[in-house]
Amino acid sequence: MIIAALSFLIIGSYKGIIRHTGTRDVFNVFIGVTIFSITIGFIVVVNQLFRINTNFTIPKSIILIHYLVSVFVLIISRYVFKAFYEVISTELNTVTNALIYGAGDSGIITYGALNRERKENYQILGFIDDDKNKVNKKIDRIKIYDFSKINKEFIEKNEINEVIISIQKIKPSRLLEITDKLLALNLKVKIVPPLSKWIEGDLQANQIKQINIEDLLDRAPIIIDNPIVQREVNDKVILVSGAAGSIGSEISRQLSLYTCKLIVLIDQAESPLYDLQQELIQNGVTNFVAIVSDVRDRHKMSRIFKKYKPQRVFHAAAYKHVPLMEKSPYEAIKVNVFGTKNLVDLSVENDIERFVMVSTDKAVNPTNVMGASKRIAELYISCVSKLSKKTKFTTTRFGNVLGSNGSVIPLFKRQIENGGPLTVTHKEITRYFMTIPEACSLVLEAGTMGKGGEIYIFDMGKSVKIFEIAKRMIYLSGLRYPEDIDIKITGLRPGEKLYEELLADGENTIKTYHEKIMIAKTQKLDDSIVKVKIDDLSLNFNKLNNSDLVKLMKELLPEYVSNNSEFEKLDKVSV
């Protein structure tokens, strides 16, 4: 008894919680019994050799039988107690009947994680898989079904509550197809996170989250730690304007992962800039400085350029809300045109290596003040780029980003929380979507390309109907449309398009080495005339009212035709 107690004390098997018995506990029991049996055998052999006590002996067969029985009984008893505990706890708590979509390695690991979970009791009644070779086979006595067999009758018969999608490499289009069918069956749909997000390579049940609209619109994973970008930004001083905004803050976060000499963060919004500053400090980033400043203030920006001597500029500062800018052309021009002009001119004066501007698809054939102001900024950069000998200028153009400030997804979430209705401006309105990290990663990479003067557009995938997004978000919230929450059509807002474009009339694309980045082959412009008109706008800016400002913008941009706006009358006059 003393030897047995010492053996298990040394191994520490007594520390294991029986209801959480696993392979490690089984191994500890095996080692403990083995140490005990070897010790007894050694004592018996020594006693026989040296005849210490002739009356003491244990047959070797008894030691072997004791060893085998002890291992068997101690291990089986643990699993019996574990199973008994699970039966009792399951009967006391509500059981969730679920299916796991995916009978591969990820699905099996998910099954194991759910079996270990005690807070929520899952009863896995089946696997679903698209592989016909797996259908009707079993995993741990649980049948694998074909997805076509999952219908209303099957769900009601088996009282299924939810489906957990556990496929590591699944196309967004297929995920959307699966989710739409499951939501139509009034099932909760959850998804297992990518392998990279598992805790120390092990999946925990609490990591399995309800699927959301971002998962359905998401795109292929991106590589943040990009060696091409690394080569261009390491040991460099980088200035980011609009650093506290959705795009600017993510550019700043991604830059912080490289070994930049210094990151200069500029924004006029004090509180969001403070939040970003604290986030970076908490993440251990020290090679940055946050400055409250405004790109409209040329004198202050000049002092910043002189003091920190940036080598690269990422210009993300802009006013972007279409309806607000339609009412405030003065502010749109002052920030989007002249703020850009200030940074472009200072970049040339200070021999900056590379200037990268974040533009928008709304600059293409603009129908609103905001888009027109960004297009004028693009034109100014194009003009200066041709005259610049040292500074390379790059413009990046892309559509909506998921979850950005003021975008449709956060708006719909708030409206659902408030009980609805969800507001959509037109039933047929469509938009391109891209995740913020992907957009910013492509901005950083595009900033390493070309000889200067190029406009880079990103592969945004297929455009998506906003009305369909609204419906899916209602279903994903466990509600029904229109019974629980309705969708209200409010009509197009001033300056709003039904469809966004990435290329203007007369533009086409040239491929780059990156499959998601293309060069917009733009029309030839008379740079001297364009630059003179922008300079003229700059000189007379403070003397003009909104109507006169927009009239000048339209003279600069013949393709600018207002839509659902008070400035439509200016188009009629020009005709």
Residue 271 — φ and ψ, nearest 5°? -65, -50
More confident residue, 359 or 57: 359
Top-ranked range on mean pLDDT: pick from 91-100, 519-528, 541-550: 541-550
Query: Which residues, at least 6 apart from 220, have a Cβ–Cβ distance to it below 8 Å?
Result: none
More confident residue, 317 or 204: 317
The CATH class given to the 94-211 domain equals alpha beta
Residue 260 — φ and ψ, nearest 5°? -65, 150
Angle at 360 between CA 358 and CA 363, to 5 degrees: 125
Angle at 375 between CA 317 and CA 549, to 5 degrees: 90
Report the pLDDT value the prediction gives residue 5, as an integer from 0 to 100: 62
Residue with token string 């229109």 = 482
Report the pLDDT value the prediction gives residue 251, as an integer from 0 to 100: 94
Q: What is the dihedral of CA 244, 246, 252, 254, to 10 degrees?
A: 160
- Where in the chain are the domains? 2-90, 94-211, 234-400+437-460+502-569
Per-residue pLDDT tens digits for 227-253 = 888 888 999 999 999 999 989 999 999
Per-residue pLDDT tens digits for 489-515 = 999 888 788 877 666 555 577 777 777
pLDDT at 282 over 90: yes
> Mean pLDDT in the chain?
83
pLDDT at 530 over 60: yes
More confident residue, 354 or 220: 354
Residue 245 near residue 405, CB atoms below 8 Å: yes
Instruction: Give the active site residue among 236, 362, 516, 531.
Output: 362
Residue 494 near residue 323, CB atoms below 8 Å: yes
CATH numeric code, 234-400+437-460+502-569: 3.40.50.720
* CATH topology agreement for domains 94-211 and 234-400+437-460+502-569: yes
Q: Report the C-alpha gap between 386 and 396 in whole angstroms.
A: 17
Average pLDDT in the 164-179 region? 83
Per-residue pLDDT tens digits for 371-395 = 999 999 999 999 898 888 899 999 9
Report the pLDDT value the prediction gives residue 255, as an integer from 0 to 100: 94
Residue 433 — φ and ψ, nearest 5°? -130, 150
Is 362 marked active-site? yes
Distances (CA, A) of 330 to 268, 380, 479: 18, 18, 43
